[in-house]
Structure 1
Amino acid sequence: MKRLKLPIGIQSFAKIRSDDYYYVDKTALALELIEGASHYFLSRPRRFGKSLFLDTLKELFEGNEPLFQGLAIHDQWDWAVKYPVLRFSFGIGNFTEPNYLHQNLMAQLDTLETQAGSQSGYNTCPERFQYLIRHLHQQTGLPVVVLVDEYDKPILDALQDPALARQNRDFLRGFYGTIKDNDAHIKFTFLTGVSKFSKVSLFSGLNNLKDITLDHRYSTLCGYTDNDIDTVFKPELAGLNREDVRTWYNGYNWLGGGVYNPFDILQLFDNREFKSYWFETGTPTFLVDHLAKNHFFSPDLAALQSDAALLSAFDIEHISNEALLFQTGYLTIHDTQQPLLGHWIYTLGYPNLEVKSSLNTSLLSAYGCDESKVLKNRLSLLRILQTGTLEALKALFHAFFASIPHQWYTKNDIADYEGYYASVFYSYFAALGLDVVVEDSTNHGRLDMVLKFENQVYLFEFKVVELTSNGTALQQIKDKQYADKYRALNQPIHLIGVEFSRENRNIVGFEVEQA
């Protein structure tokens, strides 16, 4: 659905090229939120349209009717009522500098006081904030709307400096507590960010905040659905393989309908090329370093189980791998189960091939692989699989590990844990976006890794020789009859036993048989 050009600042706005404007209408969900409660919190990864949704709410409460002509909410809203709105954003600025958060917020309050036509006279942020809320309520006779964008960025930016991160957190806790103290003067509150810091650490004074991050009713509040792609953006699909669009970009899920990242889709429609647009806009240096430091087993990325507590275990003193990967958008929810009443288990996995390929490429660098050789090695791996010369696979992976500088091992203990070599091995395959399944269950046990590629099946079992006998990797595949599960495919099945040595820091056994 194309519309006339309107001012930017409404969630349903999407610009692809200079003359093309599309509108994905989220206003029905906005109305449902407004009628349901007063104070909300939403966590979503970066570039999912959180800021635009706040713009939508701002324009709505301020009664900017022309922007909403023809949208779902238009005939259900009282446009004569124009609420005062206080919108804060921490999207820009260098919060790694001490005291910058205070300076940034004071500047925002200066602007808001100027717009209100009244100066508080206070030099502390919570008091100025409270003054604005009460003054605007008294001035207009209407309660105030408070919108906060990227509420957590001052903390996230400073995570490499824990003392500063705690200082910023404590400062924000006092500021956000003003909302609870002035509840009688507030109509509606909406806070957004990437992370979900625990209420105890950041929102201890704001216990009436309704968290809709995992509310299935609002799973599609930010992002484009399949239906949006097929209807609103239908003119842009010409010349693109629809299934490729879905495989490369779709898959984010928060217990409801799945969505695409808007930034990815708009870049794809503009450039007409499949690339890692979202991933490349923000290299997850902290995330990758955190995973490597904590000896994360990269094959777990394909199927990681968690509960609600772990998904929310995000604070300066403790950041769980599950929470970090989920909240930043590198993993999403694939399945939910309730084995016991009230106890929910979530299975996490990659949202799409963009993330799977890009994240594993970044992890290879964190695992010590020479960045200049990673691309060359990935292309060599692809050629070997295409030609079926599996003996060359042993030489290639031996070269992978041999290329890791000796001094890297002396500065890092990651190679001492059992899963390191299997993680490097797996991430090379996953970085190519190949159809890889880890911990694949059969009626005889669980196989370490399965690869399906060009009508061939490859079954991998990994062992560390310091923990077991030589030659047991391939023998386990045969003893457990893992190949039986795949015989119905009527495709060649290759059994591959891979054995690593901590002492040699490389592959010491690589046996191949055809089932």
Structure 2
Amino acid sequence: MEKRKLPVGIQTFSQIREEGYYYVDKTAHARRIADGAGKHYFLSRPRRFGKSLFVDTLKELYEGSEPLFRGLAVHDAWDWSKRHPVVRLSFAGGNFKRPAELHASVMRQLAASERRAGLPASDVPTPAGRFADLLEALHDRTGERVVVLVDEYDKPILDALEGPAPAGEGGETPAAANAQATANRDDLRGLYGTIKDCDAHVELTFITGVSRFSKVSLFSGLNNLTDLTLNPRYSAICGYTDADLDTVFAPELPGLERDEIRAWYNGYAWRGSENVYNPYAILHLFASREFEAHWFETATPRFLIDTLLRHGFAAPDLENVHADAALLSTFDVDAMPVEALLFQTGYLTIMDEERRDGRTLYRLAYPNREVRRGLNDSLLDALAPSWRSAGDAGALRRLLSVQDWTGVEALFRRLLAGIPHDWHRRNDIARYEGYWSSVFYAWFRASLDHLAVEDATSRSRLDMALRLEEDVYLFEFKVAERSEQGAALAQLKARRYADKYRAPGRTVHVIGVEVSAETRDITAFDVEPA
């Protein structure tokens, strides 16, 4: 198989097919949607995961661009004699943080659709009214019902929630940002409600975005919207499978360790039989030949980090999150569960599920090394901005391997010195053990791949367990002002955390660390063999 061009950043189906790029065939999913019992469909996937390319594939399919589909799964099963008019709305571009921007964007896109169809420009002043007129006119002119495609449907809301700048730096206040997000949501609700009102003129609706806003808040009109997000049959509708890498991208694999590719970029799961790779990260890996955080670095999740800190989520908690199906789909301007936010944005994925008392419960965790490192880096940037000057993972590993506890304590002190002097005075979270365990845990996680993630023991929860070769290191963190001196080590011993780690040839160390929330310094660093 010969090498082809890598479709880095290309979301146009015709360009990929006509200009010799690699293409992973997703058209079987398109046919399944077309043949399905539903009419209005919704799909949520993280950013840069191939949603826009799939939307463009649907556009070309329904417009009857037969030559583009030769050799693909859908070709011989499609009726190419029938062509549907397509209206595509995309909110991927633009910035929707200010009033009137959403209105202007919708009106521009509707006007462009009118021009392409040779229709006179509508003088209806509202987006919903103009949209309704367009759907009716296209149906009347062509005799075929209209296919409606909406890409990044939620971006106007998410843009507004992030706000143009942090409060106090010349930007909007959080309250103003929330108000703008609500206004954008209400405008979109009216626009999407038009689809139901014009149902007789619509052949198919396909809506994509990152988040899953509740149907009540945004799609109250489309109460028959079919959500494909967690449907196992569509788990690989976006992203690449192992088979895709081994066949379509086989020419790119020599020189790259297959297991390393899997550890870095695989692991995303939406209840299907196999996990998928992040396509953006894979394409950039093949282009650069370097294992880096290609996807994560395309956007700093400031809004996500702020939400985690505001809700007091400790970094270790992100390794083992539990949620039911209702919680994962509970998302609105005024109700954003952290679990749903992390899952929908791609920072956590489904590891397993179980049915209990009539409900489906999911266990979520990081999908892969890229996300784990990237998110912990970002957490550290917020918790201890100068953490990179504390020392690298190699130094920590060397010190632990020879049990140089004085050196380890000094390394910990340098990490804490990276916290601004006024940070703990402005943040009550620094007075809780969860903050300090997050600082150390995120630092370890951002640097080391062999940090064991432990669930609760029979005697409650351990803060952190680190495995390096045959040694195990158990950590407990305490705030000095909230406990007696020596309390951290005493808890490790009293609750016998080491018992579950004992094994022939293995050495277990217990380390109690006590930190002053006032001085940001270590007041006790106690180590014993268990």
TM class by shorter chain equals over 0.9
Query: Who is 1:223 aligned against?
Result: 239
Match of 1:154 among 142, 150, 156: 156
1:431–1:489 Cα change, 3 Å:
farther
Q: Secondary structure at the residue paired with 2:333?
A: coil
Distance 2:61 2:256 in 1: 36
Residues 267/201 of structure 1: CA separation in 2 closer, same or farther (3 Å cut):
same
**TM-score, length basis structure 1:** 0.93
Counterpart position of 2:111: 110
Distance 1:514 1:5 in 2: 56
Alpha-carbon shift at residue 76 of structure 1 (Å): 0.4
Alpha-carbon offset, residue 223 of structure 1: 0.1
Percent pairwise identity: 56
Aligned to 1:139: 141
* 1:152–1:195 contact (8 Å) kept in structure 2: yes
Question: SS of the residue aligned with 1:98?
Answer: coil
Q: Match for 2:343: what amino acid?
A: F
Matched with 1:76 is 77
Distance between the aligned counterparts of 1:348 and 1:321, measured in 2?
Answer: 12
Q: Is the CA contact (8 Å cut-off) linking 1:11 and 1:25 kept in structure 2?
A: no
Cα 1:325–1:454 change in 2 (3 A) is: same
Q: Which moved more, 1:18-27 or 1:198-207?
A: 18-27
| Aligned position for 1:450 | 465
Say what the alpha-carbon RMSD is for the aligned residues: 2.4
2:414 aligned with 1:414 = no
Show the counterpart of 2:200.
184
Q: 2:386 aligns with which of 351, 357, 370?
A: 370
Q: 1:26 to 1:451 in 2, by over 3 A?
A: same
Q: Which moved further from structure 2: 69-78 or 482-491?
A: 482-491
Paired residues for 1:192-203 under 5 Å = 192-203=208-219
Range with greater deviation from structure 2 (302-311 or 274-283): 302-311
Segments of structure 2 that go 5 or more residues without pairing to the other structure are: 164-176
Q: Displacement, 1:138? A: 1.0
- Find the counterpart in structure 1 of residue 170 from structure 2: none
Structure 1 unaligned spans of 5+: none
Distance in 2, Cα, partners of 1:212 & 1:253: 13
Structure 2 equivalent of residue 173 of structure 1: 189
Match of 1:485 among 496, 500, 516: 500
Alignment correspondent of 2:128: 126
> Which shows bigger deviation, 445-454 or 215-224?
445-454
* DSSP 3-state at the match of 2:340: helix
Do the aligned residues in 2 keep the contact of 1:438 with 1:447 (CA within 8 Å)?
no
Residues 1:136 and 1:5: Cα distance change in structure 2 (over 3 Å): farther
Q: Distance in 1 between matches of 2:474 and 2:20?
A: 49
Deviations 1:53-98 (A, max 9, x none): 0011011101111111111111100111111100110111121122
For 2:171, the equivalent position in structure 1 comes to none
Give distance in 1, aligned partners of 2:233 and 2:55: 18
Which whole-Å CA distance do the structure 1 matches of 2:14 and 2:349 have between them? 24
Q: Deviations over 1:359-406 (max 9, x none)?
A: 1111012114326636x4556434434554233111211222233122
Deviates more, 1:310-319 or 1:236-245: 310-319
Letter in 2 for 1:471: G
Alpha-carbon spacing, 1:242–1:377, altered in 2? closer, same or farther (3 Å): closer
Matches of 2:453 and 2:523, distance apart in 1: 22
Distance 1:460 1:103 in 2: 55
Q: Greater shift after overlay, 294-303 or 49-58? A: 294-303
- SS of residue paired to 1:275: coil
CA distance in 1, matches of 2:275, 2:6: 28
Deviations 1:448-491 (A, max 9, x none): 22112234321222333444433233333334443333333623
Name the counterpart of 1:204: 220
Q: Residue type of the partner of 1:82? A: R
Partner of residue 258, structure 1: 275
Aligned to 1:26: 26
Alignment deviations for residues 141-193 of structure 1 (CA, whole Å, 9 cap, x no partner) = 11100000000111100103111111111111111100010111111000000
Instruction: Please tell me whether the aligned partners of residues 83 and 145 of structure 1 are also in contact (alpha carbons under 8 angstroms).
Output: yes
- Whether contact under 8 Å (1:440, 1:450) holds in the other structure is no
Matching of residue 311 in structure 1 with residue 328 in structure 2: yes
- Supply the AA of the counterpart residue of 2:21: Y
Deviating more after overlay: 44-53 vs 431-440 = 431-440
Q: Deviation at 1:32? A: 0.9
Q: Tell me, in whole angstroms, the C-alpha distance in 2 between the residues paired with 1:139 and 1:433.
A: 62
Match of 2:314 among 297, 316, 320: 297
Paired residue type of 2:334? E
Task: Kindly indicate whether residue 96 of structure 2 is the aligned counterpart of residue 95 of structure 1.
Answer: yes
Cα pair 2:6 2:283 within 8 Å, conserved: no
Q: Distance in 2 between matches of 1:230 and 1:389?
A: 45
User: What's the secondary structure of 2:370's corresponding residue?
Assistant: helix
CA distance in 2, matches of 1:317, 1:364: 27
Alignment pair present for 1:352 and 2:368: yes
User: Larger deviation: 495-504 or 159-168?
Assistant: 495-504
Give, in whole Å, the separation in 2 of the partners of 1:213 and 1:320: 18
**1:3/1:21 contact within 8 Å kept:** no
Give the TM-score normalised by structure 2. Answer: 0.91
